[in-house]
């Protein structure tokens, strides 16, 4: 039996072997933005586990764009070498590699959350976060510096330069992070953006920075490789960014050369009521896909094989991205294939533990 979840999917020149991806997840394990052996093992294990796409965590395009002092970065050429090693390993497992490009905005200058997240002290290297307006995320976060137009231009250039480095490292996909209350999402939402210049006020002004970043990244990123954008479809808060605006934005992004919208939600303001439940964000991805024709990725409490397959089979999204479930089980795609009676490509080194049948042949094919 052939299940859509395990069918190939092509964007531009890149063919994903299945519709399962590892969602970007911060690991808080870097120093000065550098990837290290933790990232090699963490991301490599998910590629071994059968995911068709393995995404890095949010990777800062400039030092001021870090969320925590221990996040991954891509703001200097020295970051490339270790990332390239990771990409080579992901490719060797038959998976595709993606890098998420990010700027934390007003949610930056924090410690890693292990033991409790807090603002860095000056002795720990605290920096001044940046945002569209001088509005703090919450009382426990710093009030950000409102970026002027020259500084905004610098952010746009930083995203483009980061995309060039991602290309040098060998990534197949880059994703612009415009969700979860970070800088680009902050410009989208009236809850964080109270500017009165060309970057604030109207819908067209609030999306201006994201479109400028998209154009700059698309120009820097090879034409034959796909570009994703992650958005929060709604702020879940009165007066914030809405699902209707997300549909309009997705249509604009398609015009600007984006190949897929990765649809999440929330993160702009704390203490909102979100109706959590299995696949609770999938309807947003489905609506954007239906109303704009833009390919989408769905994410959020997707945990079961049948659930993931139904999302693709029903045309609600083209790819499903798993986050915490992939932390619990790096080999979720292999186990999902077994549950669905589908062929999966096990690493040849693990064949002694694999179900019998055509799986062995698939693994040998991958190893060639």
d(CA 306, CA 107): 36
296-299/319-322 β-pairing: parallel
Q: Which two tokens stand for residue 215?
A: 């154009």
- 189-207 burial code (b ≥16 CB/10 A, e <16): bbbbbebeeebbeeeebbb
Cα angle vertex 86, ends 366, 97, to 5°?
65
Q: Determine whether 136 is exposed, middle or buried from the number of CB atoms within 10 Å of its CB (0-12, 13-18, 19+).
A: middle
Q: Is 141 part of the annotated catalytic residue set?
A: no
Residue 358 main-chain phi, psi, to 5 deg? -75, -10
Element (H, E) at 249: helix 243-255
Q: Which two tokens stand for residue 43?
A: 């991301």
Do the beta carbons of residue 79 and residue 35 sit within 8 Å? yes
Helices 208-220 + 243-255 axis angle, to 10: 30
d(CA 76, CA 228): 22
Neighbouring-strand partners of residue 130? 145
Q: Which of 141, 182, 199, 331 is catalytic?
A: 182
Q: Which residues are catalytic?
A: 182
């Amino acid at each position: 039996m052939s299940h859509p979840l395990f069918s190939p999917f092509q964007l531009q020149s890149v063919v994903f072997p299945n519709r399962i991806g590892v969602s970007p997840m911060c690991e808080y394990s870097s120093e000065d933005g550098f990837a290290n052996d933790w990232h090699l093992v963490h991301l490599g294990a998910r590629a071994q586990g059968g995911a068709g796409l393995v995404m890095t965590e949010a990777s800062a395009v400039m030092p001021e764009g870090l969320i925590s002092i221990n996040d991954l970065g891509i703001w200097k050429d020295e970051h490339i070498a270790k990332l390239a090693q990771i990409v080579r390993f992901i490719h060797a497992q038959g998976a595709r590699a993606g890098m998420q490009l990010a700027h934390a905005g007003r949610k930056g200058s924090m410690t890693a959350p292990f033991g409790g997240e807090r603002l860095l002290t000056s002795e720990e290297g605290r920096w001044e976060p940046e945002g569209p307006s001088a509005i703090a995320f919450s009382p426990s976060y710093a009030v950000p510096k409102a970026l002027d137009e020259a500084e905004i231009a610098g952010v746009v250039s930083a995203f483009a330069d980061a995309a060039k480095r991602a290309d040098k490292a060998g990534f197949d996909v880059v994703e612009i992070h415009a969700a979860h209350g970070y800088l680009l999402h902050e410009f989208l939402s009236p809850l964080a953006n109270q500017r009165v210049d060309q970057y604030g006020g109207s819908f067209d002004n609030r999306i201006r920075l994201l479109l400028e970043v998209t154009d700059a990244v698309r120009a820097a990123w090879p034409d034959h490789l796909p570009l994703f954008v992650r958005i929060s479809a709604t702020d879940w808060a009165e007066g914030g960014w809405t699902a209707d605006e997300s549909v309009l934005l997705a249509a604009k992004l398609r015009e600007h050369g984006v190949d897929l919208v990765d649809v999440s939600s929330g993160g702009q303001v704390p203490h909102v009521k979100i109706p959590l439940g299995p696949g609770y964000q999938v309807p947003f991805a489905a609506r954007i896909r239906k109303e704009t024709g833009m390919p989408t990725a769905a994410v959020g409490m997707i945990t079961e094989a049948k659930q993931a397959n139904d999302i693709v089979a029903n045309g609600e999204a083209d790819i499903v991205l798993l986050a915490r479930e992939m932390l619990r089980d790096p080999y979720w795609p292999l186990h999902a294939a077994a549950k669905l009676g589908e062929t999966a490509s096990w690493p040849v080194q693990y064949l002694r533990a694999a179900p019998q049948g055509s799986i062995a042949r698939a693994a040998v094919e991958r190893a060639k």
